Amino acid sequence: MLPVILLLFYGFVVYRSPQSFTRVVFSSIMLTLSSSFTACVIVSALFTPFAYELARRRRPLEEALSEIPASIPHPVVGIALLILDSPLTPTGKALQSIGINFFDSYLGLVIALVTVSAPIYIRSLHSFFESLPKEPELFAMSLGAPRLKVLFDVVLPNSYRGVLLSFLISMSRAMSEFGSIAILAYYVLQPPFNGVSPASVLIYDFYGYYGPTVAVTTAALLVVVSLPFAFAARLIKR
């Protein structure tokens, strides 16, 4: 906590740069919040059944594969997604032909955040599902209910806390991402965020252009925005 406390003190008391309270900064924070929330909605929709499957059936290969995005340097994730969508590759040509572009786009930003936050969501929800009693599920399956119906009718109605906790944890991770989006979506070039950089990229730019004064105040502002998500996750967990 010491670096965070010092960051808040120097950002809001010692430096308090007026440039950190401009429209550019607030647009950047809104872009980060919007893209992180969108990414985590997609992650929860896609990977909740997967986390449940891993919790009920041991699948070492699938578990290992789900951890890959979290175990490699995140600039590599950005480069991999860039190659996937490059017009120089067959996959990129196919995606470009139907109008899908990852580079400097809101879609690319969200895809990168989905990739890096999915392992966090899966791991958290997997642990929660493992802690649930299995008897109601076994009873439902003994009556002929398929596993997917058991998930949606028996497990999820009693799992809203676990799902929301995993959502908030993965969203916090998405908000802090830098490596992959600095390569794939340094700017977003579509309205309403035309020309806006994600907050982590903007802080990096401020540090390079103006030195620590502006960057520290902007970073402190982002910490203040991020803290409610961490506190909410802690309250839900308790």
Query: Does residue 176 carry a pLDDT above 80?
Result: yes
- The pTM of this model reads 0.90
Kindly list the structural domains of the chain, giving each domain's residue range(s) and its CATH number in brackets, ordered by start.
23-198 (1.10.3720.10)
Percent of the chain with pLDDT over 90: 59
Across all residues in the chain, what is the average pLDDT?
90
Question: Is the four-CA dihedral 110, 115, 116, 122 of positive or negative sign?
Answer: positive
Q: Which of 205, 233, 228 is nearest to 121 (CA)?
A: 233
Q: How many CB atoms lie within 10 A of CB 26?
A: 15
Tokens 């740069």 belong to 17
Task: Write the pLDDT tens digit of every residue in 177-209.
Answer: 999 999 999 999 988 899 999 999 999 999 999
154-164 b/e with 16+ CB inside 10 Å = b? bbbeebeebbe
